[in-house]
Amino acid sequence: MNAVVEGEQVTSIESHLNQLSDLLVQVVNDGASIGFLPPMKQSEATDFVCRKITG
């Protein structure tokens, strides 16, 4: 299977916050071992992403 990955320069993360949170929920709930345990709630993912972005 071949995947195409496209990069883009992001000047504002707000428009991508939901996508990043959705991705985090999906990989955690699919069993990815990245420091979280499933089931992960959307609100937990959004809080985490916001904290990491704002430092």
Q: Could you report the per-residue pLDDT of 1-55, keeping only the tens digit for each?
A: 788 888 777 677 777 889 999 999 999 999 998 999 999 999 999 999 989 887 7
Q: What pTM was estimated for this model as a whole?
A: 0.74
Q: Could you report the per-residue pLDDT of 1-14, keeping only the tens digit for each?
A: 788 888 777 677 77
CA distance 50 to 54: 6
Dihedral sign (CA 11, 13, 19, 24): positive
CA distance 17 to 22: 9
Q: At what angle do helices 17-29 and 42-54 cross, to 10 degrees?
A: 120
Can you give the pLDDT at residue 28?
97
| SS3 state at 12 | coil
Can you give the pLDDT at residue 31?
96
Tokens for 36, please give them.
């979280």
